Structure formats: C-alpha cells, structure tokens
C-alpha cells in the first residue's frame, strides 16, 4: 500500500521548492512537538528558527570565501612549501573586482575598501 500520493511531474521549480519547505516544516513540527504549541509559542519558535537560519546564512556569505581562501593558501604552503602564486592571483582578482565595484561610490569608501583588500591580502 502506497502512503504517498503521486505528485504531478510538471510542477515548476518554485512549486517544488514550496512543497519541500512545507514538508520540512511538517517534519520539524512533528519532531519537536511544535504542533502542540499555542499560536504565540509557535510564532516565537518559528521566529527563533528564522533568526538563527538568517544569521547562519549571513555568516556563511560573509566569512566562507575568506575562510576558503585561507585554507587554499595553507594547503598550497603545505604541499609546495612556498608562497601561493595561484591564491595570490585570486586575491588580486578579487581586489580588482572590489575596486571596480566601489568606483561609483565616494572616494572615501573606495579608499577604505582598497585598504581593507590590501590588509586582507597581506594577512593571507
């Protein structure tokens, strides 16, 4: 006996993502007993979950690229025993992209961004 209903194959990716999110919400509600909460408690629970997921996403976007470059530099050093010309080119490319992105901003912001990029490249 099949307990799942057949889903139409021609759903858009947005609809499939919505179904997946509803399934995850259902799984969380059943696993942690959220379905027994009052509406106020549910609001607080989902607010905390949303806040934590948002903070995790922001931290990933801000710090993961720098961390990956740091690990690449360390791996290059351990394998080759010297400076990483490949990783230095990546940092220089990021520095150029950063300076292009900030060219429309004020000169103070551009100078601060360039200084930060130079400091970051020195640390790596």
Per-residue pLDDT tens, the chain, 124 aa: give them.
455 666 667 788 999 999 999 999 999 999 999 989 999 999 999 999 999 999 999 999 999 999 999 999 999 888 887 665 555 555 555 555 555 544 544 556 556 667 777 776 777 6
Where helices occur in 33-106 by DSSP H, the ranges are 39-80, 85-101
What predicted TM-score, i.e. pTM, was given to this entire model? 0.50
Q: How distant, in Å, are the alpha carbons of 64, 74, 75, 78, 101 from that of 83? A: 22, 10, 11, 10, 28
Q: Domain residue spans in the chain?
A: 12-61
């Amino acid at each position: 006996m099949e307990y799942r209903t057949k889903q139409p194959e021609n759903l858009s990716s947005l609809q499939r993502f919505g179904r997946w999110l509803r399934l995850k919400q259902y799984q969380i509600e059943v696993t942690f007993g959220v379905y027994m909460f009052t509406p106020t408690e549910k609001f607080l629970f989902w607010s905390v979950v949303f806040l934590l997921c948002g903070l995790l996403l922001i931290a990933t976007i801000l710090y993961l690229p720098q961390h990956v470059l740091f690990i690449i530099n360390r791996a290059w050093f351990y394998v080759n025993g010297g400076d990483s010309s490949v990783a230095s080119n990546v940092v220089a490319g990021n520095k150029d992209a950063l300076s292009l992105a900030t060219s429309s901003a004020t000169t103070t912001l551009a100078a601060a961004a360039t200084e930060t990029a130079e400091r970051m490249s020195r640390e790596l």
